[in-house]
Amino acid sequence: MPAFDIVVVGSGGGMDETNLSGYLVKPSNQSWDDGIIALEAGSGHGALGHIMKRNSDIFGEPSADEDPSKKRTPFDIYANVKCFLLTHAHLDHISSLVMSAGTLGGSSKRIYGSPQTLKDLEGIFADRVWPRLATYDETNRSFRLFYHALYADGKYKTVFPDVTVRTMTISHGKNDSGSYECACFFIKHLPTQHEFLFFGDVEPDSVADKPRNVTVWRAAAPKIPHDLSAVFIECSYLAGRPTEALWGHLSPEHLVQEMITLATEVVLARQALKVGKAKAKNRRKQKRDPVPAEALHGVLTGLRVYIMHCKEHFCTDRPVSHVIGDQCREMLAPHKLGLELLTADQGMKIGTSAVVPSRHACFFSDARFDSRLKRLGWPVEIFVIFLLRNLIDTLVSTVYLVTVAITSFFFGFSLYYYSDYGPFFFR
């Protein structure tokens, strides 16, 4: 049951201005015409125009009330954007929003980001670099773009119908004023409770002054893979890059290290679930025992990790993201974590979906059952799946209770039978 559809408008990390971070997202059960979340806004209309020329069906059929002979344009798609969700205000993540801000079609749109990201944008929309095209005042209808702050307060905030977002702060290198902060987002589809994790630019915990990625992995761990099965994370540079030249980004060596940390957190989360929440709290306070490497084998099975933001430098025969992807897979292989590592390529359409719990897999892996269910629509689909899950749980519990009752009965009866009160007790 897919939760989100994502079109990759751009996934590069710089130099190539035609391929910068930009993702269009919608809940799978809604149409692209119902509204779109623009996750980052590096590349926009221009890049999307080229993608739509190559793949005119990427957004599917237009809705019934539209003229079928009329072809959708990038302008139509961006007119359907309801909000922009920005991890930080570096130019490779905001440039298309800036360029199109004065001419965007459709209804008014919110720009979501941390207070600092919005402040940085204000500096651009300040009548010098670019006109003042956005405001915090949503009552001022002379504006069509409205700043709306997201806080890293541990809560999920609704940014779109059926979609909530939890923001966490991560480190993205340093500047003269200290650590440069960026955001990552847990993006959740409320009807299915499935989410994906999307990182802005991020530096390795092993390099950062204040390790913050581990906190994100800890928050993600209990949900993997059933409620969270996709992580989008940058890997900007090729392997072998010196640490002092990372500039707040990851390379394959560091990505592998981060995945090992994630796998470790998943192991600890599963252990905590076994020992119970109360003990888990105490356990968190205690010093953690190191998790042996063998205990991590297969722990991330069912998780797809998409690498993005690879910095193209036109020096490799193949796209640099594919070279970096191969390096990551090669370095990950000895650790046998079980995750699937993919590259988020420009023009790709990605579906994020939940992993079906294995104990119920037989019920849901039947394609005919699946397609019949899908035709009935997602509310029925969710209802039936919950019904079946509960039915199985009820059956298992009933069998268990009956077994316990029968065993207790015979045990009690035999005690009585051979006791002073039993009929055949030999005195």
Residue type for position 125 = F
What is the b/e burial string over 76-98, where b = at least 16 CB atoms within 10 angstroms of the residue's CB? bbbbbbbbbbbbbbbebbbbbbb
Stretch that binds Zn ion, among 53-61, 201-209, 320-328, 396-404 (CB under 5 A): 201-209
Quote the least distance from Cβ 201 to Zn ion, whole Å: 4
Which one-letter DSSP state was computed for residue 401? H
Of 309, 405, 289, which is closest to residue 12 (Cα–Cα)? 309
3-state DSSP call for residue 403? helix
Instruction: Provide the residue type at 66 as one letter.
Output: E
Q: Is the CB of 90 or the CB of 189 nearer to Zn ion? A: 90
Binding piece for Zn ion, criterion CB under 5 A, among 84-92, 260-268, 269-277, 379-387: 84-92
Say if CB 40 and CB 201 are below 8 A apart: no
Q: Which is nearer to Zn ion, 188 or 309 (CB)?
A: 309
We find the least distance from the C-beta atom of residue 171 to Zn ion, in angstroms, to be 11
| Residue 33 touches Zn ion, criterion: CB under 5 A | no
| Closest CB 311 distance from Zn ion, rounded Å | 9
Contact in structure between 296 and 335 (CB atoms under 8 Å): yes
DSSP category for residue 221: G
In the complex with Zn ion, which residue's Cβ is closer, 93 or 188?
93
Instruction: Give whichever of 82 and 311 is closer to Zn ion, judged by the CB atom.
Output: 311
Stretch that binds Zn ion, among 196-204, 259-267, 337-345, 405-413 (CB under 5 A): 196-204
| DSSP code for 292 | P
Residues that bind Zn ion (rule: CB under 5 A) add up to a total of 3
Three-state secondary structure call for residue 408:
helix
Please identify, using beta-carbon distances, which residue of 117 and 192 lies nearer to Zn ion. 117
Which of residues 167 and 264 has its CB atom nearest to Zn ion in the complex? 167
Write down the least CB distance from residue 172 to Zn ion, Å: 5
Q: Please, what is the minimum distance in Å from the beta carbon of residue 16 to Zn ion?
A: 12
- Shortest distance in whole angstroms from residue 260 CB to Zn ion: 24
- As a whole number of angstroms, the distance between CA 141 and CA 121 comes to 20
**Cα 338 vs. chain centroid, distance in angstroms?**
18
Instruction: Please list the residues that pair with 343 across neighbouring strands.
Output: 307
Beta-bridge partners for 25: 6, 37
CB of 196 to Zn ion, least distance (A): 19
Per-residue contact track with Zn ion, 85 to 104, x per CB under 5 A? -----x-x------------
- Site residues for Zn ion, 386-405, by CB under 5 A, read none
Which tokens in the block code for residue 383? 């209802």
Q: Where are the alpha helices (DSSP H) in 7-90?
A: 45-54, 74-79
**Complex with Zn ion: residue 3 or 310, whichever CB lies closer:** 310
Contact range with Zn ion by CB under 5 A, out of 54-62, 155-163, 195-203, 211-219:
195-203
- Which residue, 250 or 299, is less far from Zn ion as judged by CB? 250
DSSP string, 309-325: -B---S-SSS-HHHHHH
Work out which of 16, 40, 76, 201 binds Zn ion, going by CB under 5 A. Answer: 201
- Which residues of this chain interact with Zn ion, rule CB under 5 A? 90, 92, 201
